[in-house]
Amino acid sequence: MRTHEGLFAGIFGRGGVDTGDEAWLQAMLDTEAALARALERAGLAELGAGAEVTAAARADAFDAAELGRQAALTGNPVPPLVRALTAAVPPSAVSAVHHGATSQDILDSAAMLVAKRALLVILADLADAAAAAAGLAAAHRDTIMIGRTLLQQAVPVTFGLVSAGWLTAIDEARQGLARIRDERMAVQFGGAAGTLAVLGDAGPEVAALLAAELGLAAAVLPWHTDRLRILDLASALAAAAAALGKIARDITLLAQSEVAEVREGRKGSGGSSAMTHKRNPVAAVAILGCTRRVPGLLATLAAAAEQEHQRAAGAWHAEWEPLADLLRLTGSASSWAAGLLAELVVDPRRMRANLDEAGGFPLAEHVSGLLAPHLGPVAAHDLVAAASAEAVASGTSLGDALKSGDAARDLTAAGISPDQVDAALDPAGYLGSAAAFTDAALAAHHEYQTRLKGTAAPPPR
């Protein structure tokens, strides 16, 4: 079954990442074929043997389900695959099949191929998500909204700054995954116990040739029980999933009916089977469904990294499915995120309305700062706190409470006019470095994109 098939695959297998049986089987066959070509190049197999094995190494020519059944007898699917591949090549090429390798060499190298191919897709989707986030940050650089801390209203921010935070996290995740793809995807080739003894002095040469054939890095030495490469990959995937999960969680909160500051724009989605009035944030929910599963997979891979001596008893086996699931889920979340951010509908008027409905309370800190030089910080704090309590009790705004009663007399005595109070309660005057931070995120994104493309272009605004 391919990754995108199945009852739940529309949620958890969205996009182009393929970690299904055929993908793994083809990666294993690619490794066997590359080994045959490497042996031929090293003079350890007959001329033409590499081409013969390569021609036979097609996943559609093998029965993955049968290989899986036979794997129960050998502990992994490589031995039955080797037998089947050997039977599929001419006698002149038989000696080039699997020569010098052990099962873990084939499966670990295949895992690297599956992962590297998946990363190409994930990185492309993350690039699209980053571009969409950059567009939101630029378009809403000065769109004012209420900031929220501990799920409570705080001070004003801009939606541009919120989007810039999403952008920076995605770009950092992209860079982490790209580093893993370029530096940590290495061939595995060590033979029975990591010595390649069967190849004599030719072991390092064949290992280097195999790496070149597969387009993987050449490891310093076999890493059968050194699983840091797997952990580095898993950690980078988990970081990407965490960045996407944060974005999705923000959007589910901002899309609540009572908030309604954003909504998903994908046509035909969001309907409820029971409540026809609802517009559910399906893409954000799907991302969270994917990313919530990632920490457990990462934990499993971290636990499996403790492996005995030269070959593990079970821990290596424990990696296969969690790694495939981690690639698939991160890939699905990335695909969902690219569409979600590209189609996100932002409502600046609702953002401003929600901010105005707060009655000026989010600007209490700004007002205290205005008063402090005249009254002292403690007295200023107490005056604003008393006015806030009065406003809450009477159902008025903070501005009205400050411009009436005892607060008004104290402010007049301090030489502070009602116009100054109104200015202090204007959220546009209390955004701090929001615009500068947004611009910095956009500039960093532009610089990263320029490095990737190798061409210069004007920065977005």
Catalytic residues: 272, 311
Q: 362 and 146 in contact (C-beta within 8 Å)?
A: yes
Q: Is 259 exposed, middle or buried (0-12, 13-18, 19+ CB in 10 A)?
A: middle
Q: 10 Å Cβ neighbour count for 153?
A: 15
Q: How far apart (Å, rounded) are the C-alpha atoms in residues 228 and 319?
A: 12
Q: What angle do CA 26, 51, 107 make, to 5 degrees?
A: 30
Name the residue with tokens 């953002």. Answer: 351
Q: 102 and 191 in contact (C-beta within 8 Å)?
A: yes
Q: Can you name the residues that pair with 148 across neighbouring β-strands? A: 153
Name the residue with tokens 């009035």. Answer: 277
Q: How far apart (Å, rounded) are the C-alpha atoms in residues 66 and 163?
A: 49
Of the CA atoms within 13 Å of residue 450, those in its CB half-sphere come to: 12
Show the DSSP H helices in 223-318 as ranges. 228-254, 282-291, 294-304
CB contact set of 409 (below 8 Å; sequence gap of 6+): none
Q: 10 Å Cβ neighbour count for 1?
A: 12
Q: How far apart (Å, rounded) are the C-alpha atoms in residues 74 and 196?
A: 21
Q: What angle do CA 184, 188, 191 make, to 5 degrees?
A: 160
Q: How far apart (Å, rounded) are the C-alpha atoms in residues 157 and 227?
A: 43
